Structure formats: C-alpha cells, structure tokens
Amino acid sequence: MDVSERIASVFTADRPRPELAEHLAVFEPLIGSWSLVVQNFSEDGTVHTTDGEWHFGWALDGRALTDVWISPARASRTDADGEWGMSLRFYDPQLRAFRSTWLGPGRGWVIPFVGRPTEDGFALEGDANGVRLRWIFSELTTDSFSWRAEETPPGAEEPFVRQRFYARRETGASTTLSG
C-alpha cells in the first residue's frame, strides 16, 4: 500500500461513530459527490458563473465530516488553474455546536467557524480580517442543496452575498469517501 492509500485509509471512515451519530446526523444528506453551479458576486453587481464539484465523507474514525471543494470542476478545466479547498467539521459538546475549519491553500485561507443546525440545513459563522462570515447550507434533499456565503464588513448592517452554489448529486457516486 502506498502512502496515498495509507493516508486515505486512516483519514476516511464509513460512518459516524455511534455515540456521535445523533449530533452528526445534520451532515448525513451531504455524504457523497456533487456537481455545482457556482456563482461569484462582485460588489459592482457582476456575476461570474462557473462549475464545480464537492465531495463529502466521514473522517477521523467517524468523529468528523470532511469535504473537498473544487472549482472549476476538474473535467471542464482547460488549464491547471482553479480553486481547491477542504473543510473539517466535528461536534464540540462543550459548545453544543460544530467546529469547522475551511482551508483554502491557493489563497492562504484558514477560516474557523462555529456551526449550528437551522430549519432546513445548517449555518456556519466565522470571521476573516474583521469581516463577519456566514456560510449557509439550505434546502437539503437527497439529490440537491443550496449554499451561500454572506459577508458583513465592519460597519455594515446588511450582509453581501459573495457566492451561491446550486448542488446536484452525481449519479452513481459512492456515498462514502472510502468506498
């Protein structure tokens, strides 16, 4: 077994740990692979639309959920450019909420969030350089969900929607990262 296979085998998990399953159940609809329509919004009102892919699975002995986000999608790239990122989320019993960290190596981003379930998904809240961030997963079904990134700069009262994703489950995709 090479090092990539070893890392994958110890990092991924088939399911959440039984004692955490109730807390991690909010993430269950996300497990699997998704095709995305990605909309990036500029302050001047310009909208740039591209595609993407997002892969979710259980990790760290079933104690966490991990995901890898890629845009544009690998299949539609004409060059090596694009954005890749990863999040790791886990339940913190002292907070009675989720801790989540987004890692975006292309831009040098490490953004910690605290997340809680909402009526139709969950929301993550954090801060980056004084800008309040809110990332919202909503309209979760077995085959689709929506995601949006809101930013509230210092002194602003209303958030600005920076990004929106519309996700569709990839057909025939495994529902675990390890299988």
Going by pLDDT thresholds of 50, 70 and 90, the confidence category of residue 120 is confident
Percent of the chain that is helix, strand, coil (3-state, to 5): 15, 55, 30
pLDDT digits (tens, 9 = 90+) for 140-175: 999 999 999 999 999 999 999 999 999 999 986 544
Share of the chain above pLDDT 90, in %: 87
| Residue 175: predicted pLDDT | 47
Q: Is the pLDDT at 104 greater than 60, yes or no? A: yes
Q: What is the DSSP string of 101-152?
A: EEEETTTTEEEEEEEEEETTEEEEEEEETTEEEEEEEES--SSEEEEEEEEE
Q: What is the pTM of this model?
A: 0.91
CB of 131 closer than 8 Å to CB of 154: yes
